Chain A
């Protein structure tokens, strides 16, 4: 087993030497020529970049642990968010937005004035209006409308605040989901969960700061980008926890690495020192090196901790 570890170290060293050569070459170029555009490209990926000047202490702590907690600039109202997304788009007209008038026009042609200049995913020509397919009642002290499709919900209706007129300019699932979670219908932006963990870190260092849980037999149409970290360091992306097999992919040790060997944290220690060395050796750092270190260590702790949490629902 020691041989395997030694071989892994050798491989890692060889790779590091290759990387070092390239990074140092670029570094000297950037320094030598000053305005070389490459330096700004690296700067963009680096939490140490411009923000360092404003909040040096917080970010140096973050150097070692990117998920360490940070206080937000203003007094927060909440510590955590649970975001429930109904992928595919639920019908507001059968759940919360009661439209008795629509029933009167049921079966009639939709007025042309409403169709002009509008784009629909599938509707062609002149569609017919369709009345609500559920029955509604005013519930709770607030008297907000809830349909008979949601009979339990009336118990908590006075706890929620409705937004009845949200709008989006996207009419297909993928782009609309991206827009809803990243603020852009195009790929590449960080998701809201990534922004939150980037800005605040997480209180539990033994679990991911941003957890994604899916149900309904499928993942969102827009794919994993809806919980991606975009241009933020990858450590802030959502971690999908699965209901079959290992809760988190690759949480178990690979073949040939025994738990006993890893328990001593030797592999993590080696990776940490090597990666942090790489991180420091280039002026702007190699943020990914640090993220991967963090991933190895996090994997170890999450594995121990998640069994505890997951047991409850299995």
Chain B
């Protein structure tokens, strides 16, 4: 189902393990998959070849993870969050003003896609829109703090009141910002 290869370090193995851990009552399972930096400087880091392979590595395991949690009745009690640290430019990278060996895109924080699935999430929703070339958000822009506020909300916290005193003042995960993204909540 997941495409697990026993004994190997793989995203698929980690997805199966994540399901198992959540089933066993672990609160937070964090997966990091490395190798998505597609600048176009090397084959593995190219948009048309490298990225296709990376997608292949996650496509089946992620699909299996959601289906597996669902068939076990665990999806409603679990939140799955998917994303990277930013997105990529609609422009082809021209590192040092030269032509790159492969097709690539540079880092871009103005607009990128994330998704969530599981308990409390509006199934099949799509919130926010980028301009015609995908450079900037033009509707429903959300910040990292908004994403955090939404995750904490689903866990049962008011992100503005969930604080920890440190060196004389209360600290929050969302600092002084963050709004719950109601548009993706069921």
Contacts and interface: CB of A to CB of B under 8 A. Distances in A.
B134 A161 contact: no
Interface string B120-133: 11111111111011
Interface string B28-60: 111111111111000000011001101111111
A161 B117 contact: yes
Contacts of B35: 87-88, 216-218
Interface stretch (A23-31, A96-104, A287-295): A96-104
Interface in A130-177: 130, 133-134, 140-142, 144, 147, 149-153, 155-173, 176-177
A198 B164 contact: yes
Contacts of B79: 77-78, 80-82
A171 B112 CA distance: 12
A193 interface: yes
B90 A213 contact: no
B94 to A, nearest CB: 5
B8 interface: yes
A60 interface: no
A1 interface: no
A85 B184 contact: no
A22 interface: no
A135 B122 CA distance: 26
Task: Bin the interface of chain A by size.
Answer: 35 or more
B106 interface: yes
Contacts of B110: 167
A252 B27 CA distance: 24
Contacts of A45: 166
B57 to A, nearest CB: 8
Interface string B92-122: 1111110000010111111111111111111
Contacts of A40: 167-168
Interface in B149-175: 151-158, 161-162, 164-168, 171-175
B142 A165 contact: yes
A81 B155 contact: yes
Contacts of B174: 183
Interface residues of B, number: 138
Contacts of B85: 85, 87, 89, 168, 170, 173, 176-177, 179-180
B21 to A, nearest CB: 6
Contacts of A112: none
B121 A202 contact: no
B73 interface: no
Interface of B: 4, 6-11, 13-22, 24-39, 47-48, 51-52, 54-60, 62-63, 65-67, 70, 75-97, 103, 105-130, 132-145, 147-148, 151-158, 161-162, 164-168, 171-175, 181, 184
Interface of A: 40-41, 43-45, 49-51, 71-97, 99, 101-102, 105, 110, 114, 120-125, 127-130, 133-134, 140-142, 144, 147, 149-153, 155-173, 176-177, 179-184, 189-193, 195-204, 207-220, 226-227, 231-232, 238, 241, 243-244, 309-310, 312-314
24 contacts: A44-B165, A78-B78, A88-B34, A90-B51, A93-B105, A123-B91, A123-B94, A141-B124, A151-B59, A155-B67, A160-B124, A162-B125, A183-B174, A184-B175, A193-B27, A195-B152, A200-B155, A202-B25, A211-B30, A215-B11, A243-B9, A312-B17, A313-B16, A313-B17
